[in-house]
Amino acid sequence: MMDLRKKIFIIIGAILAFVLLIFLYFFFLSKPSTPGNNEDALTNDKTGTNNTNNIKYNSPGTNNTGEIIKEDPEKLSAKQTARTFVERFGSYSNQNDNEHIADAILLSTTEMVDWLETQKLDKSYDYSGMTTRVISMSVEKIDENSATVLVDTQQLKEIEMNKEIGQRSGRVELLKVNGDWKVDGFFWDK
């Protein structure tokens, strides 16, 4: 005759074996469902297709079929330089000793540095600042030594306790200097 302790161990062992079998079935033996087989299910595949309402979105670096887009390294480098410049130059405070200018100078040609020096803000006890984030960009033109990148941004403007969100577009002119892209001009659209 089995005592109570042995019966409990056998029952627990049987339950664990059953759970393990279910786990193995779902993770190793069942076929994964493919998007579109169940029209009522909310599924997202690598292309970002949401089957419940047919909205498509793309992950960065992918197209509508989920294939990885291989972008020209020169375009990618020009876009990254433009993004970094716009976000650094466009994010400032009147209380940070013009750090945004110093950060933007690192990405600029000597002619652009001269212009940046004229953009310094006066220090003030009444706070005002701007945070700029690039939300989209495209290369308008590019050749071996120059590029033009169009940027769309979202900006959070703060003056004392008031906050205002807006969008702004601009153009970044780049030149190749010693093998690196440098900003030679920056223009906000009117």
Domains in the chain: ranges and CATH: 42-71 (no CATH), 73-188 (3.10.450.540)
- 0.85 cut: is pTM over it? no
Q: Which positions of the chain have pLDDT values less than 70?
A: 1-2, 29-69
Phi, psi of 32 (to 5 degrees): -70, 145
* C-beta pairs of 15-19 under 8 Å, 24+ apart in sequence: none
Instruction: Specify the pLDDT at position 160.
Output: 84
Q: Which residues of 160-188 are buried (b: 16+ CB within 10 A; e: fewer)?
A: eeeeeeeeeebebbbbbeeeebbbbebee
The tokens describing 130, both together, are 């701007």
Q: Which residues of 16-27 are buried (b: 16+ CB within 10 A; e: fewer)?
A: eeeeeeeeeeee
Instruction: Specify the pLDDT at position 96.
Output: 87
The tokens describing 55, both together, are 């909205």
Instruction: Specify the pLDDT at position 118.
Output: 93
Residue 130: name the closest of 152, 157, 107 by CA: 157
